[in-house]
Amino acid sequence: MIRIGVTGAGGRMGKTLVEAIQQTDGVELSAAIERAGSSLVGTDAGELAGIGKLGVTVVNDLASVAGEIDVVIDFTLPEPTERHLAICRQAGIRIVIGTTGLDDAQKQAVADAGGDIGVVFAPNMSVGVNLSLKLLEMTARVLGDEVDIEVIEAHHRHKVDAPSGTALRMGEVIADTLGRDLKECAVYGREGRTGERDRKTIGFETIRAGDIVGEHTVMFAGLGERVEITHKASSRMTFAQGAVRAAKWIMEADHGVFDMQDVLGLKG
C-alpha cells in the first residue's frame, strides 16, 4: 500500500484529493497537513472532505509526519510548496506538485530537488488538458507563423494567480514549437490604444468569475478561418485522480522531475 500525505488537506483540491485517494486501489491517506494556526488542525481529514471519518487527524507540520509518508501530494501556494519540497528532499520522500504560480527561483528549487527525489510537477493533472497540449503542438507546427494565437482562460473567483499555470504551459508549448521565447512574445491583456497586433505575439486573456472549475481555449486565427482548441473541466475530481495516478507512477522512479506527459506516456 502506498502511503500518501496531502498538504493543504482542507483546500478545494485537498478535500477532493482525500476523496480520490479513498476511491483508488493500492493507496491510502496516511497524513493530512494544513497551515499552522488553521482551525482545521485536529479535525479528521475524511470528515473534512465530507466522506466520513478516516482516522487521519489533520496536523500542522509535514516534518512531524514524514516517517508515515511515501509520497506527498501538494496543492497549496508557492511558498508552502517550496517548504514542503525542502522537507521531502531532506526526508527522501517523493512529491507530486500541482501548485501553480511558482516564480523562477521556486521552479529552480523543484529542478534541484529532482537530483535527490522523484518529483511530478504539472500545472494541470487532467488527461484532457495533457492531450490538448499535444494537439496544440501539432496545430502550431501546421499553422506556423501565419496565424494570430490567443490563450483565453476562465476560473472561479477564488483563484489567486493569473494567467493560470495551464494557460502559461499552453503558451510555452506553442512558443517552443514555433521557436519563440514566451518571456519575449507574451502579451497579457490589452487596454487603450494598443496599435495593430504583432503576429509573433501570443496573447493571454483571463476571466475570474463565480465557480468556474477551469476552462482554456487556444485560438489560432488566420485569414478566412480559425482553429480553436478548448478544454473545460467540470469537476476537480479530474485533477485529483490525475494527481493520485502520478503519485503511484512516481513510486517507480528513483529521482528526477517529471510532468503529466511522462505519467500518461504522451512524451515523444
How far apart are the C-alpha atoms of 230 and 233, rounded to whole Å?
A: 10
Nearest CB to ligand LZUJQKHR, comparing residues 10 and 165: 165
Q: Per CB under 6 A, which of residues 140..199 are in contact with ligand NDP?
A: 165
How far apart are the C-alpha atoms of 62 and 226, rounded to whole Å?
A: 48
Residues near ligand LZUJQKHR (CB under 6 A) are: 100, 123-124, 155, 159, 164-166, 214
| CA separation, residue 227 to residues 140, 177, 196, 206 (Å) | 10, 17, 21, 20
As a whole number of Å, the CA-based R_g of the chain is: 19
Nearest CB to ligand NDP, comparing residues 11 and 203: 11
Q: Per CB under 6 A, which of residues 10..29 are in contact with ligand NDP?
A: 10-14
- Whether the ω angle into residue 123 lies within 30 degrees of 0, i.e. cis, is no
List the single partner that 34 binds among ligand LZUJQKHR, ligand NDP, none, CB under 5 to 8 Å by kind. ligand NDP
98 is in an annotated binding site: yes
162 is in an annotated binding site: no
Nearest CB to ligand NDP, comparing residues 13 and 250: 13
Written as nine digits, the cell of 206 is: 483571463
Q: At closest approach, how far in Å is the CB of 32 from ligand LZUJQKHR?
A: 20
Catalytic residue status for 159: yes
Please say whether the beta carbons of 125 and 261 come within 8 A. no
Q: Which residues pair with 203 in a beta bridge?
A: 150, 187
189 is in an annotated binding site: no
Which residue of 125, 154, 218, 257 would you call a contact of ligand NDP, by CB under 6 A?
A: 125
**CA-closest candidate to residue 215, choices 267, 163, 137:** 163
CA atoms within 13 A on the CB side of 96: 31
- As annotated, the active-site residues are 155, 159
> Which residues are annotated as part of the binding site for NAD(+)?
8-13, 34, 98-100, 122-125
> Which residues are annotated as part of the binding site?
8-13, 34-35, 98-100, 122-125, 156, 165-166
> Which residues are annotated as part of the binding site for NADP(+)?
35
